[in-house]
Amino acid sequence: MNHDAAMAVVDGRNILWAAHAERYSRIKNDQFLNQAIVDEAKTYGPFDKVVYYEKPLLKKTRQLYAGQYSDALSYTEMPQWHLDRFGIKIDEYVKHHNSHAAAGYFTSPFKEAVILTVDAIGEWDTVSISVAKGNKIELKETIKYPHSLGILYSAFTQRCGLKPAEEEYILMGMAAYGEPKYKDDIYEDFVIQAPFKLKKNLHRGLSDWHPEADVMDIAASIQSVLEECLADLWHRASKYGSRNLVYAGGVALNCAANTALANMGLFDNIWIIPNPGDAGSSLGCIAASEQRHLDWKNPFLGH
Ligand SMILES: [Fe+2]
């Protein structure tokens, strides 16, 4: 319902199948499920339990806080409303960051780890750090909306003429072609680095911030700020003592940042599920519900 709708089917520890809606609809980052993906999922059915990767009523409290009244008050914004037409009944709702964390940890080879989740927004959490041991994941700390690294990066994606919540990977690539000339200005206007905080709510973008700037330089600047803020979060995660890091959430798709972060040497082992974003949470919400490791064989999970 936001972006990257996806489904996964799990039987015990076996991942039977998982896929993106976009593969069936041919609409990139498609936010909605469609009949074709549902039909394929149902070939593994009937389902014993259906789990959804977000708590919709909790999300509505955040939407009300953010002034998104039409979204908050609309029943068509409820996931069950969308699934009714496919004859699917949701049995359980899992908190969004729990889905991310479980997607990472329960597909990892680790018996214990610290889990860092960073994304734009689910219900309220934008950053969470958990400690995992065996089958138990314990939440230790969070940063909440509107203080969001994902929203910050998406706002700059839009500022550079790209589509937010979709084309962040292009902004990341553009960063290599510019100079971080506006880094200080970003801190001055928007960001407190440690502990991470935004000075303004950027959910609706930046409008024409620095209209004279070369977008490559803006890209290099926000990439550099992102990496510095993430470095602080990795340091915070490392204080929990584990040498194993599970890194999750859509911001973990920024592979340029990941390389720099891994090179800090804070962890011996790092696991990022091949899709740490919201689509991967279709698997994660099942894992969070069942609370046990999945038998991860390889990234090819379906279509
Ligand atoms: Fe997310």
pLDDT at 111 over 70: yes
Among residues 145, 100, 140, 40, the alpha carbon closest in space to that of 271 is found at 100
- Spacing, Cα 173 to ligand 1 middle (Å): 21
Tokens of 135: 């089958």
In this structure, the answer to whether residues 101 and 181 fall within a common structural domain is no
Q: What's the Rg (C-alpha) of the chain?
A: 19
For residue 300, what pLDDT is reported?
87
In this structure, the answer to whether residues 94 and 124 fall within a common structural domain is no
pLDDT at 75 over 80: no
Helical (H) or strand (E) element with 139: strand 136-144
Tokens of 36: 């074709």
For residue 3, what pLDDT is reported?
86
Which CATH number is 88's domain given? 3.30.420
In this structure, the answer to whether residues 90 and 183 fall within a common structural domain is no
Which CATH number is 131's domain given? 3.30.420.40
Mean pLDDT of the chain: 95
Average pLDDT over residues 63-78: 85
Residues with Cβ within 8 Å of residue 224, at least 6 apart in sequence: 175, 180, 183
For residue 32, what pLDDT is reported?
92
In this structure, the answer to whether residues 231 and 93 fall within a common structural domain is no
pLDDT at 292 over 70: yes
In this structure, the answer to whether residues 56 and 140 fall within a common structural domain is no
pLDDT at 45 over 90: no
**Domains in the chain, number:** 2
For residue 35, what pLDDT is reported?
97
Grade residue 164 by pLDDT with cuts at 50, 70 and 90.
very high
Return d(Cα 41, Cα 47) in angstroms, integer.
9
For residue 76, what pLDDT is reported?
77
- Spacing, Cα 282 to ligand 1 middle (Å): 11
pLDDT at 64 over 70: yes
In this structure, the answer to whether residues 43 and 121 fall within a common structural domain is no
In this structure, the answer to whether residues 125 and 253 fall within a common structural domain is yes
For residue 302, what pLDDT is reported?
77
Q: Interhelix angle for 215-238 vs 255-262, to 10°?
A: 40
pLDDT tens digits for range 202-225: 988 998 899 999 999 999 999 999
- Spacing, Cα 58 to ligand 1 middle (Å): 15
In this structure, the answer to whether residues 172 and 234 fall within a common structural domain is yes
pLDDT at 303 over 70: no
Residues of the domain holding 236: 111-272
In this structure, the answer to whether residues 203 and 95 fall within a common structural domain is no
**What percent of the chain stands above pLDDT 70?**
100
- Spacing, Cα 122 to ligand 1 middle (Å): 6
- Spacing, Cα 211 to ligand 1 middle (Å): 30
For residue 159, what pLDDT is reported?
97
Grade residue 194 by pLDDT with cuts at 50, 70 and 90.
confident
Average pLDDT over residues 122-128: 95
The answer to whether the beta carbons of residues 249 and 150 sit under 8 Å apart is yes
In this structure, the answer to whether residues 77 and 214 fall within a common structural domain is no
- Spacing, Cα 277 to ligand 1 middle (Å): 6
- Spacing, Cα 36 to ligand 1 middle (Å): 24
Average pLDDT over residues 149-172: 96
Q: Residue 300 class from Cβ within 10 Å (0-12 exposed, 13-18 middle, 19+ buried)?
A: exposed
pLDDT tens digits for range 219-261: 999 999 999 999 999 999 999 999 999 999 999 999 999 999 9
Residues with Cβ within 8 Å of residue 97, at least 6 apart in sequence: 117, 119, 122, 125, 128, 142, 249
In this structure, the answer to whether residues 266 and 280 fall within a common structural domain is no
In this structure, the answer to whether residues 203 and 242 fall within a common structural domain is yes
